[in-house]
Chain A
Amino acid sequence: MNTPDLQVTFCGKLFRNPLVLASGILGTQPELLARVAVAGAGAVTTKSLSPHPRAGHPNPSVLKWGPGFINAVGLQNPGVEAGVRLLEETRRLLEAQAPEVHLIASIFAETVEGFARVAERLTAARPDFIEVNVSCPNVAHELGRPFAADPEDAAAVTRAVKNATDLPVIVKLSPNVTDIAVVAQAVEAAGADAIAAINTVAGMVIDVRARRPVLANEEGGLSGPAIKPIAVHAIYEIYRKVSVPILGIGGVTCGEDAIELMMAGATLVGVGSAAYWHGPEMMGILAGQMRAFLRAEGIARVCEVIGAAHRTEEAW
């Protein structure tokens, strides 16, 4: 059998493979984004960029915990103006070193208008996509409930960003809601070109010897293997209710995990915490594992597995 084909099409753009560096992981420097891209990513995502620079939360802010991680970085970023330079420099490096890899600009703001302003400003740097982070779970003390907690709020941000940019818009949703598919339907109706799910799962770890939460911010977001079934379920539910493509994210640490999220309905698969085990060169490793799975299962093209878990009756 020939080498299995990992190419997928997402929002009309061809990706060499479905693997996307998730926002918040290694997305701080152009050279680092390029390193992840060269090692085999289909796309890379910047750290979320906001209207003004943010220092983020004090340490401890990113911790290994049991079968995963908990973090409350608090959206540390250099602000939208430095963000433009980050995108332009990353674009320049990608064109030289990995021209087929797409660049996703993640954005965040405190207000609907702020989201539109950041989207408009960053559009000038020509990333391939804008990813709208309405779902950070660890800034509630400062900013209150995230926009993704309410379908109407998430839709309002989506509409504002769509009006501010001609780039395809991915809206990243929170699992910390009763029914994520309802939020997905609302942002689809508001014009979202794609949906990313899930952001981290709200959580807390208390050190029983220190008798206090370990994160300086107290609450944070869980990632890593601990949340993969939550991600798979969320993607499965969203896939049933919307027709725009899904960027599935949550707990992928190997090629078969990526296939699992695709079978739930994801076209693209975000990879983040896996860097702990595989390092910045993780994408080539995961792509190789995906190919090995497809070859062993006699599947010629990875796009055949998208949503495959929904077709159990046909398979019988």
Chain B
Amino acid sequence: MAVNDNRAEGLPCSTACHVRARIVTVEEENYRTRTFTTDLHWPHARPGQFAMVWLPGVNERPLSLLSHTPVRFTVAAVGPFTRALHHLQPGDALWVRGPYGRGFPITGRYMVMVAGGYGVAPLHFLAQEARQTGCHITVIVGARTRRDVLFVERFTALGVPLLITTDDGSYGRRGTVADALADVIRGSHPVDAVYACGPAPMLEAVNRLCKAARVPAYLSWEGIMRCGMGICGTCARGAWLVCRDGPVAYPEDDSSTSINAGGIASASHTSRLPR
């Protein structure tokens, strides 16, 4: 590629806010969910971190990373932005900035990962990284019903034990991921750490269980974001900045700033962004 600015000579150069990436492949995960592989490499990105993804003329939204080399995203088409993203084909462009936020730490010998709905992506990234450290992993994947269950093949391919739950019992065990987690925690193997990503009520249930059982929980929360880098305060839940302090809440977080300590309940001034 031709050198078209001053960068090579260490001189001042044009500075964009985003990096343009190209879609390399698009894979169907279920009836409304696709995985997009880009040509972008972020070897320093960690599981649990996110990118701000801009579709010019549409919107810019935070998306969890499924992997760093290459950068991949798994996205359910649930709103105008994600539906627009689903129109992208290999060769199309999207604009990305990041990675942002504090991801999951890899800690302990026996890790349990709990994913609700499309919370599977950052936990698959984590499982992939953690497996290389030789720790033991159990994954629990839950959804409302059979057709919403994601990543069964991807987790199976990693060779980690997988428990599936659905609210209506149409696939795997009937019940919630929290029910399955309670059994795993009560099981013969002492659990060193629990990692979870999914809807807020699920995270609250996981947190209650882990607190009662004195198992450290690392919970990845969602936020409505503008800057993604800790300056605007839009995503704040109480004193806790989802984008910068999180999105992963750690058990040892100071109680005054931690979402684990009930910051979510006081998030009374948050409002939705315009579409």
Contact = CB atoms under 8 A, between A and B. Distances in A.
Interface in A203-219: 205, 207-210, 212, 214, 216
A211 B100 CA distance: 25
A55 interface: yes
A280 B230 contact: yes
Given A55-B273, A208-B16, A209-B20, A279 B230 contact: yes
Contact of A26 (B59, B236, B238, B273): B236
B54 A214 contact: yes
A214 B59 CA distance: 10
A191 interface: no
Contacts of A61: 60, 226-227, 232
A149 B95 CA distance: 35
A205 B17 CA distance: 8
Contacts of A28: 232-234, 236, 269-270
A275 B274 contact: no
Nearest to B271: A78
A32 B236 contact: yes
Contacts of B228: 62
Interface stretch (A3-11, A63-71, A152-160, A166-174): A63-71
A218 B70 CA distance: 31
A25 interface: yes
Contacts of A208: 14, 16
Contacts of B227: 61-63, 69, 71
Contact of A29 (B57, B93, B231, B236): B236
Interface string B150-164: 000000000000000
The interface size bin for chain A is 35 or more
A58 B274 contact: yes
A286 interface: no
A56 interface: yes
A35 interface: yes
Residue of B93, B95, B227, B271 most packed against chain A (CB within 10 A) = B227
A86 B268 CA distance: 9
Given A26-B232, A61-B60, A280-B244, 10 more contacts: A26-B236, A29-B238, A31-B256, A47-B233, A53-B271, A60-B60, A73-B226, A86-B269, A210-B95, A275-B231
24 contacts: A26-B232, A27-B233, A29-B233, A29-B236, A29-B237, A32-B236, A47-B233, A58-B273, A59-B273, A62-B226, A62-B227, A64-B229, A66-B15, A69-B231, A71-B227, A78-B269, A210-B56, A212-B57, A214-B54, A216-B60, A273-B231, A275-B231, A279-B244, A280-B241
Interface of B: 14-18, 20, 52, 54, 56-57, 59-61, 93, 95, 97, 225-234, 236-241, 244, 256-257, 263, 266-275
